[in-house]
Structure 1
Amino acid sequence: MLPPPLSSDHQVPFDDRGLAYGDGLFETVLLRAGVPVLWRYHVERLAKGCQCLGIPLPCQSALNATWQGKPSAELEVLKLILTRGSGGRGYAQPEPVTPRLLSRRAPFQPSVQRWQQGVTVRLCNLRLSRQPRLAGVKHLNRLENVLARQEWSDATIAEGVLTDSEGLVVEATSMNIFWQQAREVFTPRLDQCGVAGTLRAGLIDKGAVAQASLPLDQFPDVERLWVANSVQGVWPVTTLLAADGSLLKRWSVNEPDPIQRLAHQLLGYA
């Protein structure tokens, strides 16, 4: 049986494996009037991550307890962290495994201006390493994303685009990528690395988005470009910069935007 969820006021023990090794998973969930949005997709991704890492999945009542209760605002963000718990010798897992579930919720407001006016993104120098076993999983070891985000401090740049070691576009530092070509909308395949977002999953299930590979040298040639996640919604990209800051491509913010409209319906923003 899992211990009860810890609040943000509790300290994580020194020997927690999530703290020591990144041995765990997390979810970032939009709450609307206290109810989680795309909850099924979040639970499914958490379950896939638990299966991948060999961590027991908390029971549904324990997961639901993290968001049930009086909301502090109309919109909130719930962050769940699930670690393998404490113990074990070195990298060897403890026997038995007693996972630790932590949660925290905070008021949130999306950037409507970025929805409407679009954003600037840049290419990152860092390349994601390939590890198919972890592909799609939102695990706690996000050092590649942390290092990539350190590459710029310009507040006018909203996101950084990450490619893998083979030169294929994968994702942004904290969002998924979508592009339009020949009137079809695509998102990168995430069978080698990257995080499979829940909004991305919803759009794929709706038949609005197909998965494809996009080599970096073809990236500036796409007709339209978006970055998106299940909290912020969809940001149209208007400017693409190289890692050195030079201009690679500009796009206009076109209306109607069917991907943004459908995504925001899924999130309750429309």
Structure 2
Amino acid sequence: MNTLVDGVAQDHIAVRDRGLAYGDGVFRTLRCEQGRLLAWPRHYAKLQADCAALGIVCPEAALLLADLAQLAPASAAVKIIITRGVSARGYACDPSASPTRIVQVAPLPDYPDSLRTEGVQLRLCAWPLSIQPGLAGIKHLNRLDQVMARREWQDASIFDGLMCNARGELVEGVMTNLYLLQGNALYTHPLADCGVAGAMRGLVLELAAGMGVQICQQAFGADRLAQVDALLLSNSLAGVLPVRQCGAQSWHNFDLAQQLHAALLEQARKESIPCCPV
């Protein structure tokens, strides 16, 4: 993995950085293909929005792109982390602190085409998502809920785990957004008080609506899985994936997932920009 911290090649941060001490920051993960950042405007807009929600100054896009030009990735997983920066001990924020920006480039994970033709296997996690309306939707650095949920399995055949909140509402995967297809309606949790509103989630909902699918953002429990025609997942690196099995439930309708994946890739590539401008 290649890493820049504030534009300098290094793999460490200050011990007083608030991202380390408190998880005080946000991040984005995006896909780079053949030297182009897919759906960059969406990712940067979400980074700006998440920074604003926490009161952190978001670095200018040009600065982040200059960092990426240094790393010059070809095909890679790109991660951008913005912390509030370095401050004295204690929870109080130093208004004069400069945000720390971290840009990392790593190999893309292996997501073979068979995942889209055969579907993936999931499990239900016991660890609940924390309810906190003030942080809902934000991809902040406090990921302990996801860490604890991911500790629940070591079986490599399980692609992801589904997480409920304390009310028993099925919200999302540990590393994915979740959609339930029933008839011509696509259901997803509204994420009003928990969960991550991924950049690709917005694009999936736009594309599905453009295909004539009814979009329903409403809460539902895990018992709903027995009633639906298909389950779909999305994230920035994998795109859209169909689900084959979760516990005792199984599905074989992969059509919409495959259509959405193709459409998402096409649109994300249209919205891509080069990492290293000529």
TM-score (normalised: structure 1): 0.89
SS for the counterpart of 1:126 is coil
Which structure has more relative contact order (CA 8 Å, sep 6+)? It is 2
Corresponding position of 2:246: 240
- Please give the TM-score of this superposition, normalised by the length of structure 2: 0.87
> How far apart are 1:103 and its partner, in Å?
0.6
Kept after mapping to 1: 8 A contact 2:229/2:253: no
Query: Counterpart of 2:181?
Result: 180
| Paired residues of 1:120 and 1:237 also in contact (CA < 8 A) | yes
Q: Structure 1 vs Structure 2: percent identity of aligned residues?
A: 33
Q: Distance in 2 between matches of 1:94 and 1:88?
A: 8
RMSD over aligned Cα atoms: 2.0
- Superposed counterparts of 1:193-208, under 5 Å: 193-206=194-207, 207-208=209-210
Structure 1 residue runs without a partner (length 5+): 242-246
Structure 2 counterpart of 1:244:
none
Stretch of structure 1 that moved more, 131-140 or 220-229: 220-229
Could you say if the C-alpha distance between residues 15 and 266 of structure 1 is closer, same or farther in structure 2, counting changes exceeding 3 Å?
Answer: same
Which of 221, 224, 227 is matched with 1:221 structurally? 227
Asked if 2 retains the 8 angstrom alpha-carbon contact of 1:237 and 1:251, the reply is: yes
Contact 2:28 2:80 in 1 (8 A): yes
Residue aligning to 1:41: 42
The Cα shift of 1:235 comes to 1.6
Matched pairs, number? 259
1:120-199 matched pairs, under 5 angstroms: 120-199=121-200
> How far does residue 70 in structure 1 lie from its aligned partner after superposition?
6.9
Aligned equivalent of 1:116: 117
Task: Give the direction of change, closer, same or farther, for the CA distance of 1:253–1:267 in structure 2 (3 Å limit).
Answer: farther
User: How far did 1:59 drift?
Assistant: 1.3
Q: Partner residue of 2:30?
A: 29
Measured after TM superposition, the shift of residue 116 of structure 1 is 1.8
SS at match of 1:185: strand
Q: Structure 1 CA distance, aligned partners of 2:226 and 2:8?
A: 45
Structure 2 partner of 1:102: 102
Alignment equivalent of 2:217, drawn from 186, 207, 211 = 211
Gaps (5+ residues) in structure 2? 271-278
Q: Distance in 2 between matches of 1:187 and 1:196?
A: 11
1:53 and 1:70 map into 2 onto residues whose CA distance is 28
